[in-house]
């Protein structure tokens, strides 16, 4: 293929041709070019602004073979050129008349604008002429209207002046005669007229009249005040010239028209006059003034208001609210007097007296709130300069108008609640077990409900007294006695396991006797070790709870759960009732944690007790000679004991935790998490198989280069293939027992119940996983160790998460000798070095078991330590004996080999 045709070299063109091309070249801007592309939307390369003829020709004729159709390309281009020329000619012809048409349209537009301007000018001139005509017509009307307004104002002013001049003289005459009913209307009119003439105060005559009006008002105020004093306090004026009730009623109407200070002074004097008797009667030095007779104060004011309204209620206008004003002043005086007397006699106050006074005061304030509208309180608040906040916009009430004086002494109330709760907790502590037993089929202590009922009463009562600091102090008291109840009532009622005082010495003597037995009978090692373990298990049996104790633990658990839920409700209610400034400080989380801890402790005790019963069966499991079992029958006796233990204890726990299903499920979880690892650890202690491989075969294998090739040749090899794993009937029996235990554990939540419920999925998962591991361990033990590579491969398939420590334990279960164990361990490490590294640490920490361990008592820990010491000592002695025997066999083999080698 030849290269594309290159563009011929450019020949130098004449200067004229270059200038011509430059002139004819059209350069379009980017915006114009984009607009053209949007309109045309052509994909033809000829339409592109960056068109390159050379590239275009190379695209048409990329090689020599493509030149064969050059005629067709030229013909097509000529056709395209013809079409483009035709389009250009039509466009040019269409643009010939465009300029002339535009000029004609422009001239027509200019003529139209000229005509429009002429019309607008004509309209404007006519409008100006019309305006001048209207002004000429209305000129006389405006003058007449202005004259009318001035005349009307002058007439009104003259009338007001006449009224003011005549009214002043008339008012003086009526005031002297005390004809207040006839004074009211002229006085109102004169006051209004006088206000009208204030703008002419510089005129001497007007100033004189205004002074006379002001003097009349002052004289009326003084005169009416004296009339009130003479009427209600006749001793001040000798009782002469006493006015009638009708005159006083009219005088009150006149006072309403006068300045406000006049009315305020009369009311202040009259209210103080009405309460003089009260102040003298209930003076702080009087016995009747103390809190125990506080209801007599309120009885006095009620009686006094009734007498006042009956005798003089019609004198004062209704909008004066005399009864309410007297009551408000009474409340203020009472509050001040009670504050002084309580400060002086604080030591004589007790909670009963304080609550009595508060209750009587609250009842009286509620009565006042229903009787009066509170307009006087609103007026007092406004005159005091109340704010504009949301609290200030509320309608004032009589609530706490007197009662606020008691808030400083509410610590007496909270101290009383403290003492009452202390007595109540003391009563709960002294209750007998029969009094503590739940009633009506419930599982909660009755005193728990009593405690929270008392809490509720105290909270309601404190809300009525104050929802600020006293309620916060009450919250702190609630918190303290919740902790007291949890420790002195609930935790104190949890049963304790009874152990003898000499338990520690007996355990120590048992261990010493067992060790002496082990050292004396060293010749018969197996008999001594068995006797030691038997004696230790016999003497170290842990005590268990009785059925009554288990019920008590369940009762404590259910009561703690009830307290936990009720404390949460109590916290929410306290935050709702208490003042907003204290709401964030109400926190009962510590108390809820205490009840959580009690629940967890009860569950742990139940698990520990059930686990202890199963441990005895597991100890029995270790005493069975599994390698001597001759046939596989029904489940073993230790399984029957475990099932019996579960059927005795679990239904009792389930029935007494019927209202606490989630904690019963948690109990089942913790039990299987504790039992299954212990069961697996017990399996590790068993020797369910016996190896039938002879010592010579093992020795030969040990001396060979690889144990994985088999167990020797000849007779020994035949024996191994005949019975490679020894007696595995014990493993089969263990597998059967393990499956039976798995079935029982799966049914544990509903064991002994007529209603079978499906256990939770999380519980089922734990049981299946744990018991599956136990079954896999037994199956691994059943596998023959020869060939070794196949055994390790099977081991890793069945126990993929195992480690070296566990591998050692399984070899011990198979009774594999130490020298063979070392070689098998080396093969295991090469097969999974990573698992071996992880297993070294895991085996040290979890003891090969895993799971959640239940805390043991001190005696149980001592017993477990002693057992570990004895077991370690026994295994060390056995290992020492095996090592000596192996060394002797190796020496014999070496001597035989030397004798057979040629010199």
Please give the full DSSP string across 514-540, using - where no structure is assigned: HHHHHHHT-SSHHHHHHHHHHHHHHHT
Contacts 24+ apart (CB under 8 A), 618-622: 618/678, 618/679, 618/682, 619/537, 621/682, 621/686, 622/533, 622/682, 622/685, 622/686
Count the helices and strands in the chain (H runs, E runs): 35, 0
659-668 exposure pattern, b = at least 16 Cβ within 10 A, e = fewer: ebeebbbbbb
Condensed to tens digits (0 to 9), the pLDDT of residues 499-542 reads 544 344 444 444 444 444 444 443 344 444 444 444 444 445 56
Residue 244 dihedral angles phi and psi, to the nearest 5°: -90, 165
Run of H or E residues at 280: helix 276-281
Nearest to 297 by CA among 361, 234, 372: 361
Q: Which residue has the tokens 């190896």?
A: 691
pLDDT at 728: 79
- Number of CB atoms found within 10 A of residue 231's CB: 20
Say if residues 755 and 650 touch (Cβ distance below 8 Å): no
DSSP class of 541: P
Give the chain's residues under pLDDT 70: 1-26, 157, 159-167, 188, 194-202, 206-207, 234-242, 383-395, 440-441, 498-542, 690-727, 833-903
d(CA 812, CA 828): 15
* SS3 assignment, position 318: helix
CA–centroid distance for 19 within its chain:
87
d(CA 540, CA 510): 9
Its pTM surpasses 0.85:
no
Say if residues 455 and 570 touch (Cβ distance below 8 Å): yes
CA–centroid distance for 437 within its chain:
35
d(CA 537, CA 599): 32
**Tokens standing for residue 243:** 């006015």
Say if residues 737 and 635 touch (Cβ distance below 8 Å): yes
d(CA 313, CA 298): 20
d(CA 504, CA 173): 119
Q: Using CB atoms within 10 A of its CB, is residue 834 exposed (0-12), middle (13-18) or buried (19+)?
A: exposed
Nearest to 365 by CA among 405, 394, 337: 405
**Tokens standing for residue 455:** 């809490």
* SS3 assignment, position 14: coil
Nearest to 670 by CA among 680, 660, 662, 681: 662
Say if residues 468 and 577 touch (Cβ distance below 8 Å): no
Cα angle at 395 between 394 and 399, to 5 degrees? Answer: 105
Say if residues 601 and 545 touch (Cβ distance below 8 Å): no
- Number of CB atoms found within 10 A of residue 474's CB: 25
Nearest to 574 by CA among 586, 584, 565: 586
Q: Cα torsion for 378, 379, 380, 381, to the nearest 10°?
A: 50
Residues 6+ apart with CB under 8 A from 334: 297, 402
**Tokens standing for residue 237:** 């004026």
pLDDT at 241: 55
The 3-class secondary structure across 821-879, one letter per residue, is HHHHHHHHHHHCHHHHHHHHHHHHHHCCCCCCCCCCCHHHHHHHHHHHHHHHHHHHHHH
Q: Does residue 852 have a cis bond before it (omega within 30 degrees)?
A: no
pLDDT at 843: 40
DSSP class of 452: H
- Calculate the alpha carbon distances from 194 to 160, 188, 218, 482 in Å: 9, 10, 15, 77
Residue 597 gets the label, from left (phi > 0), alpha (psi -120 to 50) or beta, of: alpha
* SS3 assignment, position 546: coil
Nearest to 499 by CA among 544, 534, 549, 536: 544
- Number of CB atoms found within 10 A of residue 623's CB: 11
pLDDT at 676: 93
d(CA 290, CA 279): 14
- Helical segments of 197-259, H only: 204-232, 234-237, 245-257
d(CA 465, CA 403): 9
């Amino acid at each position: 293929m030849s290269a594309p045709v290159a563009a011929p070299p450019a020949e130098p063109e004449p200067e004229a041709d270059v200038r011509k091309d430059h002139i004819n070249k059209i350069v379009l801007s980017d915006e114009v070019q984009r607009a053209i592309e949007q309109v045309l939307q052509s994909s033809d390369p000829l339409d592109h602004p960056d068109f390159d003829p050379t590239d275009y020709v190379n695209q048409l004729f990329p090689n020599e073979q493509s030149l064969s159709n050059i005629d067709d390309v030229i013909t097509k281009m000529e056709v395209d050129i013809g079409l483009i020329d035709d389009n250009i000619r039509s466009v040019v012809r269409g643009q010939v008349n465009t300029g002339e048409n535009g000029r004609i349209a422009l001239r027509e537009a200019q003529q139209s604008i000229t005509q429009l301007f002429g019309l607008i000018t004509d309209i404007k001139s006519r409008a100006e002429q019309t305006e001048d005509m209207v002004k000429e017509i209305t000129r006389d009307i405006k003058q007449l209207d202005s004259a009318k307004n001035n005349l009307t104002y002058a007439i009104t002013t003259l009338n007001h002046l006449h009224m003011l001049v005549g009214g002043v003289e008339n008012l003086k005459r009526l005031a002297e005669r005390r004809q207040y009913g006839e004074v009211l209307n002229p006085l109102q009119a004169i006051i209004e007229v006088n206000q009208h003439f204030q703008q002419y105060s510089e005129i001497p005559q007007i100033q004189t009249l205004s002074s006379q009006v002001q003097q009349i008002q002052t004289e009326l105020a003084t005169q009416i005040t004296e009339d009130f004093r003479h009427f209600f306090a006749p001793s001040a004026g000798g009782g002469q010239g006493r006015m009638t009730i009708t005159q006083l009623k009219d005088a009150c109407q006149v006072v309403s028209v006068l300045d406000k200070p006049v009315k305020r002074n009369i009311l202040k004097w009259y209210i103080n006059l009405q309460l003089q008797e009260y102040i003298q009667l209930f003076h702080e030095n009087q016995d009747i003034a103390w809190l125990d007779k506080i209801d007599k104060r309120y009885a006095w004011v009620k009686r006094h208001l009734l007498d006042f309204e009956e005798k003089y209620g019609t004198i004062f206008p209704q909008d004066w609210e005399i009864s309410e004003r007297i009551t408000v002043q009474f409340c203020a005086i009472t509050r001040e007097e009670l504050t002084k007397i309580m400060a002086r006699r604080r030591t004589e106050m007790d909670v009963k007296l304080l609550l009595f006074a508060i209750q009587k005061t609250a009842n009286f304030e509620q009565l006042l709130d229903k009787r009066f509208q509170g307009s006087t309180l609103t007026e007092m608040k406004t005159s005091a300069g109340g704010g504009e906040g949301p609290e200030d916009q509320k309608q004032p009430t009589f609530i706490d108008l007197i009662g606020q004086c008691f808030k400083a002494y509410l610590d007496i109330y909270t101290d009383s609640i403290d003492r009452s709760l202390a007595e109540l907790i003391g009563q709960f502590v002294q209750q007998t077990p029969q009094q503590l037993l739940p009633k009506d089929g419930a599982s909660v202590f009755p005193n728990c409900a009593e405690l929270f009922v008392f809490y509720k009463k105290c909270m309601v009562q404190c809300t009525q007294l104050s929802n600020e600091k006293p309620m916060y102090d009450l919250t702190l008291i609630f918190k303290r006695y919740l902790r007291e109840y949890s420790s002195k009532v609930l935790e104190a009622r949890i049963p304790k396991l009874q152990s003898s005082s000499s338990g520690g010495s007996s355990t120590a003597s048992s261990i010493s006797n067992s060790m002496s037995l082990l050292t004396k009978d060293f010749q018969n090692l197996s008999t001594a070790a068995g006797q030691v373990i038997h004696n230790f298990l016999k003497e170290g049996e842990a005590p268990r709870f009785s059925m009554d104790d288990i019920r008590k633990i369940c009762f404590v658990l259910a009561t703690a759960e009830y307290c936990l839920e009720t404390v949460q409700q109590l916290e929410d209610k306290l935050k709702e009732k208490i003042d907003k400034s204290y709401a964030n400080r109400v926190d009962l989380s510590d108390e809820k944690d205490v009840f959580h801890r009690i629940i967890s402790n009860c569950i742990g005790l139940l698990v520990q007790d059930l686990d202890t019963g199963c441990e005895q069966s597991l100890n029995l499991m270790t005493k069975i000679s599994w390698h001597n079992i001759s046939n596989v029958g029904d489940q073993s006796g230790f399984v029957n004991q475990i099932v019996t233990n579960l059927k005795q204890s679990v239904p009792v726990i389930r029935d007494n935790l019927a209202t606490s299903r989630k904690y019963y499920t948690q109990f089942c979880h913790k039990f299987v998490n504790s039992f299954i690892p212990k069961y697996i650890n017990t399996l590790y202690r068993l020797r369910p198989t016996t190896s039938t491989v002879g010592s010579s075969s093992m020795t030969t294998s040990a001396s060979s280069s690889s144990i994985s090739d088999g167990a020797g040749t000849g007779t020994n090899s035949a024996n191994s293939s005949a019975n490679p794993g020894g007696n595995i009937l014990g493993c089969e029996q263990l597998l059967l027992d393990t499956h039976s235990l798995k079935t029982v554990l799966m049914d544990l939540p509903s064991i002994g119940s007529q209603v079978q419920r499906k256990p939770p999925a999380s519980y089922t998962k734990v049981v299946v996983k744990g018991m599956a591991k136990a079954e896999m361990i037994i199956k691994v033990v059943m596998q023959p160790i020869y060939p070794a590579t196949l055994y390790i491969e099977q081991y890793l398939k069945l126990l993929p998460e195992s480690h070296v420590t566990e591998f050692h334990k399984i070899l011990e279960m198979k009774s594999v000798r130490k020298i063979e164990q070392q070689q098998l361990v080396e093969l295991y490490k090469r097969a999974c070095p990573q698992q071996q590294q992880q297993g070294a640490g895991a085996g040290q920490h979890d003891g090969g078991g895993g799971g959640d361990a239940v805390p043991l008592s001190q005696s149980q820990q001592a017993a477990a330590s002693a057992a570990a010491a004895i077991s370690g000592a026994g295994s060390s002695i056995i290992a020492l004996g095996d090592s000596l025997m192996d060394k002797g066999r190796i020496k014999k083999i070496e001597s035989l080999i030397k004798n057979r080698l040629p010199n």
